[in-house]
């Protein structure tokens, strides 16, 4: 039974989501300010964090920044409906996914299960994936570039693993969204592009100066072999 941390200053909404998740196979704990959210998220007691962006004093974005400075625990952001900037900033800082508010508790539970399934599936795989200077260790959820460790978020790791398993051939954005984020690709959804931009930034360049992740026109993204 996965333990979920809810961080939202809306006490009524957080209570409703907690009660729904408790009745749907999870154990949920709610806190209502950013400082408490950071402390709880870094306690090691939770499988995943649900974090509201709009909070007073310490915003959800700053909470996420502090969590990512010390932990790779999966984080799902609750964002205002239609606020693309909050979503993009959250993804760039390392959020694994987002759900617009107001959200259906059933959709939130489905997103949480999708993230947890991906995490558990990756942990069950054992064979390392080596492509040029890149080494992906699914069992340990660890990545190395030229022998040095690379710090990736849970979703970034999932995306890179999918590309590594398909090295040398393009993978569509739709397939990446389904396999790495656990949901269909929505129209105008830039999540995949933002995550891959972050991965490119964290990985080094190949000997010829190119990124190992290439955009293939009208086909998607490809992890190239040297």
Residue 125 has pLDDT above 60, yes or no: no
Half-sphere exposure of 85 (CA within 13 A, CB side): 1
- Residues 37-65 have a mean pLDDT of 94
Q: What is the pLDDT of residue 42?
A: 95
Residue 224 has pLDDT above 60, yes or no: yes
pTM listed for this prediction: 0.67
Residue 5: count of CB within 10 angstroms of its CB? 22
d(CA 13, CA 180): 28
- Residues 11-29 have a mean pLDDT of 94
Question: How much is the mean pLDDT over the chain?
Answer: 90
pLDDT, tens digit, 9 for 90 and up, residues 166-188: 999 999 999 999 988 888 888 88
Q: What is the pLDDT of residue 176?
A: 94
Cis peptide before 102 (omega within 30 of 0): yes
- Residues 140-155 have a mean pLDDT of 91
pLDDT tier at 84, thresholds 50, 70, 90: confident
Domains of the chain: 3-120 (3.40.50.2300), 125-223 (1.10.10.10)
pLDDT tier at 121, thresholds 50, 70, 90: low
Q: Is 10 exposed, middle or buried (0-12, 13-18, 19+ CB in 10 A)?
A: middle
186: nearest Cα among 120, 99, 102: 99
- Residues 77-92 have a mean pLDDT of 83
Residue 126 has pLDDT above 90, yes or no: no
């Amino acid at each position: 039974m996965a333990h979920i941390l809810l961080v939202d200053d809306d006490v009524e909404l957080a209570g409703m989501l907690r009660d729904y998740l408790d009745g749907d196979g999870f154990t949920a704990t709610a806190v209502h300010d950013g400082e408490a959210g950071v402390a709880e998220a870094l306690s090691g007691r939770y499988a995943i964090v649900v974090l509201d962006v709009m909070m007073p004093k310490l915003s959800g974005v700053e909470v996420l920044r502090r969590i990512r400075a010390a932990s790779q625990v999966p984080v799902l952001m609750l964002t205002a409906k239609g606020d693309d900037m909050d979503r993009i900033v959250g993804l760039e800082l390392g959020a694994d996914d987002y759900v617009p508010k107001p959200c259906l508790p059933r959709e939130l539970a489905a997103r949480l299960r999708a993230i947890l399934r991906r995490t558990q599936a990756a942990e069950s795989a054992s064979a390392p994936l080596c492509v040029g200077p890149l080494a992906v260790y699914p069992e340990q959820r660890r990545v190395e570039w030229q022998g040095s460790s690379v710090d990736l978020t849970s979703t970034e790791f999932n995306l890179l693993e999918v590309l590594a398993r398909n090295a040398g051939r393009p993978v569509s954005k739709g397939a990446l969204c389904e396999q790495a984020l656990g949901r269909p690709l929505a129209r105008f959804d830039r999540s995949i592009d933002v995550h891959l931009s972050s991965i490119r930034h964290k990985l080094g360049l190949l000997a010829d100066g190119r990124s190992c992740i290439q955009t293939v026109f009208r086909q998607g993204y490809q992890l190239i072999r040297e």
